[in-house]
Structure 1
Amino acid sequence: MVKGWKDKLENHVNLNENIFVDMNVKGNAEYDFCCFGVDENGKLSDDGYMIFYNQRTSPNAELRVEDITDGVRYTLNLSTLPDFINRLVFTVSIDGNQTMGEMNSLETKVYQSGDNDIEMKLGGKDFTKEKAVIVMEIYRKDVWRIGCVASGFDGGLSALLKYFGGEEVKDESNQNLSSSNQKILLEKKMEKAPELISLVKPLVFELKKKNLESTVAKVGLVLDISGSMVPRFKNGTVQSIVNKTLPLAVQFDDDGELDFWFYGTTARQMDSVNLKNYTKAVPDDWKHLMMELGGRNNEPIVMRMVVDEYKDTKIPAYVLFITDGGVNNKKEIRNIITEASHLPIFWQFVGVGGKNYGVLEKLDTMTGRYVDNAGFFALDDFQKVSNEELYARLLEEFPAWLEAIRKKGMI
């Protein structure tokens, strides 16, 4: 293959059998490979057909990707692709400051048995300052065809996503970002914690739905460690809460860290949670920590600590407050929430399978606040609720609060 070359694919492979596409690149940059399955308008109408390092298979495994030395191998089953997928576009992009003109070589091979390989070799001399390249396409035009494109984009992955029809939004620095790009950017950040990648899609869906994609905020997590929480520490619920809150911090906060408190009779601010240490957020000796902090609920003491942490913040703070009930100190809790309504702090209280949530169940009717700054809901079992429902509920009241504090000039 050379740039501009086209042919019927059936002249080279059996369309009813698996077809392999190997892509290898050598150079001094970090290269990302992607196959976009687009419709007849050239748009990514179903992001399930965007195959890359964090989504390695299409919905029905018609397209798959695996790592090989210096690149990837795609496996294609064209006979099972849905009719709306009209074109498969194979791309390479750079994550970093380098350009495609600096690479040593880019080799692409399409084959089955190996006897009739279709090969294309490109090098840095074929490009200049591009940060992404459409290498080739396999497309329907009465029959399946193949074409060598070898066309670059100065804008890298963002330009590719825009080209394939991502919905444009603006971030805080007025940079164009597509909703698909938001998903890619968050997945890229989360690749340090691959077991959490599945949380990205439902979170980004909810962020888009509530127009929160470009929101910048501090994120804090407060966890009940009173005696009644023992079963939830033992069965992994507490660690699951940390896991599912962390992507919010990675998305909202530039430093990607989650501020973190445990509380019982007393409270303690722990080390911030990030993608490197989140598996240790719940210490192995949590029983010892539980004894140190005391066995009964004392919400006001930790709430005061949270207020002290964020009282001077210049950006909003989203605080997720987890308890299994036994909430007392009604008057003091009301006073703290009322006082904090003048600060850019939003409190999302969540009950986890307990009882006696007291004043938290009456937040919606609480009067005397500058803005409505708190919400509450209870779950029978945190681990059984779907990620889609969880993020929908966690972010249900946050957008209205953001709008309210903006109108009041609080941020």
Structure 2
Amino acid sequence: MDLGGLAGKGAAAGDALAGLGLGGARAVVYLVLDRSGSMRNYYKDGTVQHFAEQTLALSASVNDSGTLPIVFFSTDIDGTAEIAVDDYNGRVEELHASLGHMGRTNYHRAIEAVIEHYKASGTKDPALVVFQTDGAPTGKAAAEKALCEAAGLPLFWQFVGFGDPEAKGFDFLRKLGTSPALAVPAKRALDNAAFFHAGLDPRSLSDAEVYGELLKAFPGWLEGARAAGVLA
């Protein structure tokens, strides 16, 4: 696939995949974007657009669709769309500007929307869901319930934090692997989520660093999902 202006990012994504033994792997990639009010400056300064381009290049490295489905969420689902390898310049800013009011941070609404889309697609490939946020879920119990229920599906949730790495709001995500409320296997068939913090200026990270973090936990989840019968 001709990635055009994304060729450099595509090469970095390919290198990261190969380094983790995932060369030739196939997966669906989703991008979930936080539109809570505190995200305003990250849209305005192009940070979210930049991250979407990195995720689009990763998607193009593991499937042939040439598109990346995006779920914008805040209090509810603000909108859904796709960007494509031949139509991505400025698209995230355009889409964001068309969606109106920025609300709170209800993770569970976005989780539900991705699951609905995945089931409707009919694909048999696993999904890597890149879930960007700059804070805690407004409804923690609802977020926990949604992630636990999703553990029986072939979807891996890679959360990405924007903002102050020391902020207490990220405690929910930091504890994903150890929280009793999300225990494996008592509440989840397997550990289906991971978290990395991209810092106050996510654009300062190289493409290689971003892909290394986005993919770090994915091979282990694939192995566990196959062993648990979640993935054929």
1:348-367 equivalence runs, <5 A:
348-354=158-164, 355=167, 356-365=169-178, 366-367=182-183
Checking the alignment, whether the CA contact within 8 Å between 1:220 and 1:317 is kept in structure 2 is: yes
| Structure 1 counterpart of 2:27, from 217, 220, 233 | 217
1:92-107 equivalence runs, <5 A:
none
Alpha-carbon distance in 1 for matches of 2:135, 2:53: 22
Aligned to 2:216: 396
Cα separation, partners in 2 of 1:268 and 1:313, compared to 1, 3 Å: farther
Aligned to 2:191: 372
Structure 2 segments unaligned to the other structure (5+ residues) = none
Shift of 1:353: 1.2
Aligned to 1:226: 36
Identity of aligned residues (%): 36
Aligned to 1:344: 154
Checking the alignment, whether the CA contact within 8 Å between 2:79 and 2:99 is kept in structure 1 is: no
Alpha-carbon distance in 2 for matches of 1:197, 1:226: 31
Shift of 1:387: 1.4
Q: Under a length normalisation based on structure 1, what TM-score does the superposition of the two structures give?
A: 0.51
Shift of 1:253: 1.6
Aligned to 2:53: 243
Alpha-carbon distance in 1 for matches of 2:9, 2:95: 28
Which digits, 9 at most, give the CA deviation of each residue in 1:46-69, with x for residues without a partner? xxxxxxxxxxxxxxxxxxxxxxxx
Cα separation, partners in 2 of 1:374 and 1:215, compared to 1, 3 Å: same
- What amino acid does structure 2 have at the position aligned with 1:375? A
Asked if 1:279 corresponds to 2:98, the answer is no
| Structure 1 counterpart of 2:103, from 279, 295, 307 | 295
Shift of 1:262: 0.5
Aligned to 2:118: 310
SS at match of 2:67: coil
Alpha-carbon distance in 2 for matches of 1:285, 1:261: 11
Cα separation, partners in 2 of 1:349 and 1:315, compared to 1, 3 Å: same
Superposed CA RMSD: 1.7
- What amino acid does structure 2 have at the position aligned with 1:201? A
SS at match of 2:162: strand
- What amino acid does structure 2 have at the position aligned with 1:407? A
Alpha-carbon distance in 2 for matches of 1:202, 1:375: 21
Cα separation, partners in 2 of 1:245 and 1:405, compared to 1, 3 Å: same
Alpha-carbon distance in 2 for matches of 1:270, 1:317: 17
Alpha-carbon distance in 1 for matches of 2:49, 2:172: 26
Alpha-carbon distance in 1 for matches of 2:79, 2:97: 17
- What amino acid does structure 1 have at the position aligned with 2:147? I
Checking the alignment, whether the CA contact within 8 Å between 1:242 and 1:281 is kept in structure 2 is: no
- What amino acid does structure 1 have at the position aligned with 2:116? D
Checking the alignment, whether the CA contact within 8 Å between 2:106 and 2:143 is kept in structure 1 is: no
Shift of 1:287: 4.1
Give the length in aligned residue pairs: 219
1:123-138 equivalence runs, <5 A:
none
Alpha-carbon distance in 2 for matches of 1:287, 1:201: 31
Q: Under a length normalisation based on structure 2, what TM-score does the superposition of the two structures give?
A: 0.88
- What amino acid does structure 1 have at the position aligned with 2:173? L
Which has a greater percent of helix?
Answer: 2
Query: Which deviates further from its counterpart, 256-265 or 316-325?
Result: 256-265
SS at match of 1:360: helix
1:316-327 equivalence runs, <5 A:
316-327=126-137
Checking the alignment, whether the CA contact within 8 Å between 2:10 and 2:60 is kept in structure 1 is: no
Structure 1 segments unaligned to the other structure (5+ residues) = 1-187
Aligned to 2:204: 384
Query: Which deviates further from its counterpart, 259-268 or 316-325?
Result: 259-268
Asked if 1:189 corresponds to 2:2, the answer is yes
- What amino acid does structure 2 have at the position aligned with 1:405? A
Which digits, 9 at most, give the CA deviation of each residue in 1:115-144, with x for residues without a partner? xxxxxxxxxxxxxxxxxxxxxxxxxxxxxx
- What amino acid does structure 2 have at the position aligned with 1:309? H
Which digits, 9 at most, give the CA deviation of each residue in 1:189-209, with x for residues without a partner? 21xx32x22213322221111
* Greater RCO structure (CA 8 Å; 6+ sep): 2
Which digits, 9 at most, give the CA deviation of each residue in 1:232-282, with x for residues without a partner? 011110100111001111111221221111111121442321112212431
SS at match of 1:282: helix
1:43-62 equivalence runs, <5 A:
none
Aligned to 1:87: none
